[in-house]
Amino acid sequence: MGREFVAAAIAEMHGASRLREPMSPQRLITARDEFEQLGEFFGVRGAATLAAVDADGVQCEWLSLPDSNLDHVLFYVHGGAYTMGSIASSRGMLAALVGAAKVRGLGIEYRLAPEHPFPAGRDDVVTAYAWVLAQGIRPEQIVVAGDSAGGGLAVSAMLEAKRRDLPMPAAIVTTSAWADLRCEAGSYVERDHLDPALNLADLQFSAACYLGDTARADDPDVSPVLADLSGLPPMLVMVGTAEILFDDSLALHSRAVASGVDAQVLVSNGMIHCWTGFADEWDQARADLAFFGAFVTSHLP
């Protein structure tokens, strides 16, 4: 499959696609089903061992491959604009990351908006992280990763974990992070014609769902590009140039550096939203996935 095929598949199936009717509470119901179908389409390829666990009330799933080092954990927060996505829909992405880093992964079934607005999803991620630590897994054996909304949520959750005096993981990696729910950055409009997956109106709808009646988009706990990120572990921020969330990742990286975090950014030319999930199709995705794997292993004991 080439880039055109993958882009067409995303545009056809993704709930936020501009080819569909605008997002609404009614549309969200079918968009969730389509998102699950998309996850199945790009699902796990090859042998994987799955094990469901209850992390103090948060449903999670271990995923390992034959060459996974079971002592090392990739704690993974899936994307889906805070309103969709699941362990099942994100298995393919998690398997690709696990394979690149040769670790085992833990997928998190956090609660979704609008049924469960902020801080429900963030608190679920923190609960799951605390549960992992309670299993005797040392923080230096854990790398936290997230894509799209999961990228912003991963950072927000680690800030909350730090406030609760939980030890920080070895590193954090975000891919195509949605990290500013104000949705005001220039790339939301300037790169709209390049992005087959996302559009501003649908992200504004999802942001309103996540914020609910009480939270604000300019709250640093919601939009980590506005937060003091000091005390976070080393970060890798990955983003493609063909996505409307481009500026979010650049702002997140800049904020991390300004906060004294050891942070680096990987900008992948021509790549679309969450492109590392398409490593079987694109050479660039394979190269960037390998870069991800090298970063993770370099920060683990």
Cβ 35 vs Cβ 23: under 8 Å: no
Phi and psi at 26, nearest 5°, equal -70, -40
What does the longest C-alpha to C-alpha distance in the chain come to?
A: 48
Other Cβ atoms within 10 Å of 193 Cβ, number:
10
| Residue 286 identity | R
- Cis-peptide, bond into residue 114, ω within 30° of zero: yes
CA dist 161 and 197 (Å) reads 31
Nearest Cα to 258, choosing from 238, 229, 232, 220? 229
109 is catalytic: no
**In degrees rounded to 5, what are phi and psi of residue 246?**
-55, -50
Structure tokens at 104: 């085992």
Judge whether 148 counts as a catalytic residue: yes
Among the listed residues 86, 148, 176, 206, the single catalytic one is: 148
**Nearest-angstrom CA–CA distance, 147 and 85:** 11
Find the catalytic residue in 243, 249, 268, 299.
Answer: 243
Report how far residue 147's alpha carbon sits from residue 97's, in angstroms, rounded to the nearest whole number. Answer: 11
Is-contact 239 250, C-beta < 8 A?
yes
Q: Is 115 an active-site residue?
A: no
Q: Note if the bond before 224 is cis, omega within 30 degrees.
A: no
* Cβ neighbour number for residue 8 with a 10 Å cutoff: 14
Residue whose tokens read 């362990």: 87
Neighbour count for residue 33 (Cβ, 10 Å): 12
Instruction: List the catalytic residue out of 14, 78, 253, 273.
Output: 273
Residues with a known catalytic role? 148, 243, 273
